[in-house]
Structure 1
Amino acid sequence: MEKQKILVFGNFNYSTHNLCGQTVKTRNVYQLLKSKERQYFSEVAFFDTDSLSANKLGLFQGLYHVIKTNELFYLPATKNLTYIFPFVFILSKLFSTKIHFVVVGGWLGEYLQNKPIYRFMISKVHHIYPETDALCQYLESHYGFKKVTRLNNFRDTNFVPVQRAIGHPIKLVFMARVHPLKGVETLFKLNQRLKELNFENVIIDIYGPIFEEYKEEFNKLLITASDNIAYTGILQPNDIYPVLSQYDMMLFPTQYYTEGFPGSILDAYISGLPVIASNWLYANEFIDNTSGAVVDFDDKNAFLNKVIELIKKPDIIDSLKQGARAKSYEFSSDKAWEVLLSNMVS
């Protein structure tokens, strides 16, 4: 049988290399499919929607790629879905392109609530791949979508962390967008509480791109905080696992309730780090008592108390580190490939 042409359509952000969950997952899907090119496909190409910020006419090039491909892996954020997807959908029907709709995050169910036209279009794509069981069930039960399969967030890596005994100082890390909705201010409250309790042997490092409109406020928080909390920049992909593996726990006090499966949690597991998180909509699908802890979504004190409780029990942190590493094997690229291959046109 003739091999198929594949196109991955989404935000790669190759122009600025400003990595986030959207861009990392888009790149990972492309790299996974590209690695199978010789064996399964005649070509695996990509279109970077980030290029449209500099050249709106580039959309015509992207749409031309859509009509020339057999199977399209489409990874939109909300703006892309709102303004570009209708054109992509119409062309896919005119030129018999199969759309694989790969969902990034947990927002799709809410987005579709008052959009019957978009619900109709998405119901007609070849397959839909949410990140969570709960979103799969929601799309099926509320909107009657039929071809829905969970596709875990994944990484293609052979990294094996060196087991690091808990020492002094105990090192806590946050790695995500530096944004109020990611719970950044909770980190500063934790730092203050630790200072009040005379925990001098605990440091908190913050990694990630700073939301532009939050920079001034964030810098004020840093200036007034103690030396035990610091902003440490943006980790490049090749540095993530070696750097994270030098820490003891990852903090994820998100206030963004419809998070999907944040890539930073998967990066923590691969690096052997347990995760302490607020209970966003899907938290319990990814964090259990073997790999970290989940606390009430709106209870910042509960988050602080749980972190402090674990700091006092380093033997439990050691056990959670082993559980986190074991958890990472559920999110391999091999398992992701099995899901995609089983739903592609044969």
Structure 2
Amino acid sequence: MRKISIIGNFDMNNNSYNGQTIKTRIVADELESLYGASEIKRVDTAGGKSVVLRLLFQLFGCVARSRNVIILPAQNGIKVILPLVVIYNLLFSRRIHYVVIGGWLAELLGRNRWLLCFAKRLHMIYPETKNQKDSLAGLGLHRVVVMPNCKPLRILTSDELSGYNLRPMRFCIFSRITPTKGIEDAIKAVSLANEKAGKTIATLDMYGNVEACDRPWFDAVKASMPETVAYWGRVEFDKSVFKLKEYTALLFPTYYPGEGLAGTVIDAFAAGLPIIASDWHDNANIITDNKNGFIFPTRDVNRLAEIILDIYKCQDRLVPMKLNCIQSAQAFLPSVVIRTIAKEIA
């Protein structure tokens, strides 16, 4: 009998770099480094409805032949994977672990309360933040421990930090390019800051994947972007830190409904890049205002522009913040984070 089966969206047939696939692969890789490849089975849920029949049999095999089963379902997959694994486990009494991706679980369980009886039978649930843990407790789920998101990035040393005193300042967005990530708010804020300054004091570069459903919207956005804003496509997973290090700060004006501890925050910290973030969901608990970034009211373009102007007046204030960022990044190393679930592995 193997030690662990991991069920999630690995999407190994495609070179996918969304938050779900990245976290699923990282968790599997770290557990494999701890226990060895022979003790780990990976089950790929990529494919949606087309793989449901296959999963019926694969999930049964995972529960029957593993002492621990780890699930990392997406919002659609949870309605299939969670009940199936829990029902199968009535026969075997294994430890079922649920590693949460994003910040949507409590809200989804609140809307679909029939899933709660299955969630209460899990050995442990691992949300990304304390606020998520508290929300799950409000639904009667108490076998919950916080396990932050993580990435296997090389954290810069203090000698490698850069992006100081740039004229004009260079800001970036580094996330999935979709409306609720605040893309248009960021563009408006940079343009407004330049307008108020009477000259170009800031530029904005955007990096990230654009999904097919968002292409018409983004094509319209690009058609009206000023010269100070550019889109540069996707950056390879292992090159993020060295791409980001040259910037002044990262803009994160998200109001994405399922936001958890976003991977872009970890990328920025590792690159020594202060984050200017909306006070959406857990952002203010992860990013400390005036220590490793700045927090502004969600959707408040004027306040975001004011922060950009304030930084321009005194870029030296970013020097200690960049040092604080690389210190903050240490908490999100996979080797550190994986200890949380390793303590619960039978």
Q: Same fold (TM over 0.5)?
A: yes
**Shift in Å at residue 284 of structure 1?**
1.6
Change in CA separation of 1:66 and 1:308 when aligned onto 2, cut-off 3 Å:
farther
Q: Distance in 1 between matches of 2:212 and 2:305?
A: 27
- 1:82: which partner in 2? 79
- 2:342: which partner in 1? 341
- 2:54: which partner in 1? 58
Q: Distance in 1 between matches of 2:264 and 2:186?
A: 16
Q: Does 1:26 align with 2:24?
A: yes
Q: Distance in 2 between matches of 1:53 and 1:87?
A: 15
**Shift in Å at residue 68 of structure 1?**
2.0
1:72–1:100 CA contact under 8 A, matched in 2: yes
**Shift in Å at residue 333 of structure 1?**
2.0
Change in CA separation of 1:65 and 1:294 when aligned onto 2, cut-off 3 Å:
same
- 1:287: which partner in 2? 287
Q: Determine what percentage of the aligned residue pairs are the same residue.
A: 28
Between stretches 123-132 and 168-177, larger displacement belongs to 168-177
Q: Tell me which amino acid in the other structure corresponds to 1:99.
A: I
- 2:99: which partner in 1? 102
Q: Say which SS state the counterpart of residue 24 (structure 1) adopts.
A: helix
1:103–1:128 CA contact under 8 A, matched in 2: yes
Q: Distance in 2 between matches of 1:239 and 1:172?
A: 18
1:98–1:125 CA contact under 8 A, matched in 2: yes
Structure-1-length-normalised TM-score: 0.92
- 2:310: which partner in 1? 309
- 1:155: which partner in 2? 151
**Shift in Å at residue 56 of structure 1?**
4.4
- 2:325: which partner in 1? 324
Q: Distance in 2 between matches of 1:11 and 1:312?
A: 45
1:172–1:202 CA contact under 8 A, matched in 2: yes
**Shift in Å at residue 150 of structure 1?**
0.4
Q: Tell me which amino acid in the other structure corresponds to 1:297.
A: T
1:257–1:280 CA contact under 8 A, matched in 2: no
Q: Distance in 2 between matches of 1:223 and 1:114?
A: 39
Q: Tell me which amino acid in the other structure corresponds to 1:10.
A: G
**Shift in Å at residue 52 of structure 1?**
4.6
Change in CA separation of 1:56 and 1:143 when aligned onto 2, cut-off 3 Å:
closer
**Shift in Å at residue 179 of structure 1?**
0.7
Q: Tell me which amino acid in the other structure corresponds to 1:227.
A: E
- 1:215: which partner in 2? 215
Q: Tell me which amino acid in the other structure corresponds to 1:172.
A: F
> Alpha carbon RMSD of aligned pairs, Å?
2.0
**Shift in Å at residue 37 of structure 1?**
2.0
Between stretches 49-58 and 101-110, larger displacement belongs to 49-58
2:194–2:202 CA contact under 8 A, matched in 1: no
Q: Distance in 2 between matches of 1:65 and 1:183?
A: 40
1:73-110 CA distances to partner (integer Å, 9 max, x unpaired)? 11111101012321121112223331111111111111
1:13-42 CA distances to partner (integer Å, 9 max, x unpaired)? 22222211111111111111011123xx85
- 2:186: which partner in 1? 187
1:291-328 CA distances to partner (integer Å, 9 max, x unpaired)? 00111124222122212221322111222211111111
Structure 2 unpaired stretches of 5+: none
Change in CA separation of 1:258 and 1:238 when aligned onto 2, cut-off 3 Å:
closer
Structure 1 unpaired stretches of 5+: none
Structure number with greater CO (CA < 8 Å, separation at least 6) is: 2
Q: Distance in 1 between matches of 2:249 and 2:340?
A: 31
Q: Distance in 2 between matches of 1:176 and 1:219?
A: 17
1:166–1:318 CA contact under 8 A, matched in 2: no
- 2:167: which partner in 1? 168
Q: Tell me which amino acid in the other structure corresponds to 2:130.
A: D
1:75–1:101 CA contact under 8 A, matched in 2: yes
Q: Distance in 2 between matches of 1:145 and 1:60?
A: 26
Between stretches 48-57 and 161-170, larger displacement belongs to 48-57
